[in-house]
Amino acid sequence: MPTTDTVRAIEWRVDHLALLDQRLLPDEERWLRLTTVQEVAAAIRDMVVRGAPAIGITAAFGVVLAAHQHYAQTPGRWRDTIQDDLGLLLDARPTAVNLRWSVERMTGLLTDISTDPTQILLAEAQRIHAEDIAANLHMGELGSRLIAPGSGVLTHCNAGSLATGGYGTALGVIRSAWSEQCIDRVYADETRPWLQGSRLTAWELLRDGIPVQLVVEGAASALMAGGHIDWVIVGADRIAANGDIANKVGTCNLAIIARHFGVRTMVVAPLSTIDMACPSGKDIPIEMRAADEVLGFAGRSVAAQGATAWNPVFDITPAALVDVIVTERGVIQDPVKEKLIKLMR
């Protein structure tokens, strides 16, 4: 295990799910104890846990808690009574396809279970968690091979240990490339309005001994024009069949600017983020969140009284602006539909 890998935010502890409350970082490290599927759905919706793979893993443990509850209450009919709670999980956030992927993987087991489902489902959720970490470590290796010594990189939002089972997707590549001494400079967008960059990415990189410089989103052109970075490295919430990428709003801006200045864009995501049923980015549902998140900050208003806000939390980067997609099954240069079909076969 590389030494730059100390952060974990999701743990199953005997009979409950423990989540590091990401809303409080970096000021406070508080673990929440979740014992019901309702609490799990609320934790996903309210951003206690966020990041596509982390949401998927959390939902898998949510299915365990739901099955345990329903089997205890109605042992003869638990497969029927659980359905509303599965819907609750699926509706918690719309864009990250990992949520649906993991709930479907878990529910695929239900028909064959004839006794108490808890242990069988728990084993599957733990497998999903472990496989995600293994995928990230492998993607870290694959992605870091593309980065020449002396490089500078810019990342957006948080696609790290906190956003996954551990190690991270984009930050996994940065961790590996840093360990290989290929990266000299790491920049992170602060990522308004939730500040996943300045609160979370900076926290976990610094904790693992990787220095990071924060920039406001508007500094991206200046950074690239100045020759400070060679790669934009980001994660994804969903990748459509044609290679379009849904990721934290602002990702498309970076890809456009990067193309202009000859900087390359790398998207790092596990297969569970690829949705071949979604033909293009136009078909990906984009989550809209409350205007208050933009109008206020840390509990106080920062906007002129009467201003309103438009708050989409993801955007679509066209495949044509993506140089490389890194998955645990391999790297796709210049993604197009045919290459994704081949990868997913």
Give yes or no for residue 51 binding ligand MRU (CB under 6 A).
Answer: yes
- Of positions 17, 63, 125, 313, contacts ligand MRU by CB under 6 A: 313
Give yes or no for residue 232 binding ligand MRU (CB under 6 A).
Answer: no
Give yes or no for residue 238 binding ligand MRU (CB under 6 A).
Answer: no
Question: Rule CB under 6 A: which of 161-180 touch ligand MRU?
Answer: 163-164, 169
Give yes or no for residue 58 binding ligand MRU (CB under 6 A).
Answer: no
**Nearest-angstrom CA–CA distance, 249 and 192:** 9
In the complex with ligand MRU, the residue whose CB is nearer, 169 or 198, is 169
- What are the structure tokens assigned to 242, written together? 């044609």
- Of positions 7, 19, 52, 154, contacts ligand MRU by CB under 6 A: 52
Residue with tokens 């998955």: 327
> Shortest Cβ distance from residue 64 to ligand MRU (Å)?
22
- The answer to whether 47 and 22 are in contact (CB under 8 A) is yes
**Nearest-angstrom CA–CA distance, 246 and 236:** 6
Give yes or no for residue 50 binding ligand MRU (CB under 6 A).
Answer: yes
Give yes or no for residue 248 binding ligand MRU (CB under 6 A).
Answer: yes
Catalytic residue among 5, 237, 275, 323: 237
> Shortest Cβ distance from residue 277 to ligand MRU (Å)?
19
CA distances from 300 to 292, 309, 326 (A): 10, 15, 40
As a whole number of Å, the CA-based R_g of the chain is 20
Question: C-alpha 230: how far from its chain's center?
Answer: 23
Give yes or no for residue 272 binding ligand MRU (CB under 6 A).
Answer: no
CA distances from 27 to 195, 198, 202, 204, 345 (A): 13, 12, 12, 13, 45
User: Is residue 237 annotated as a catalytic residue, yes or no?
Assistant: yes
> Shortest Cβ distance from residue 216 to ligand MRU (Å)?
18
Give yes or no for residue 196 binding ligand MRU (CB under 6 A).
Answer: yes
CA distances from 4 to 97, 161, 208, 209, 276 (A): 28, 11, 5, 7, 33
Give yes or no for residue 193 binding ligand MRU (CB under 6 A).
Answer: no
In the complex with ligand MRU, the residue whose CB is nearer, 158 or 242, is 158
Provide the sign of the torsion angle of the four alpha carbons 48, 310, 169, 28, taken in this order: negative
Q: Which residues are catalytic?
A: 237
Residues that bind ligand MRU (CB under 6 A): 50-53, 96, 157, 159, 163-164, 169, 196, 234-237, 247-248, 313
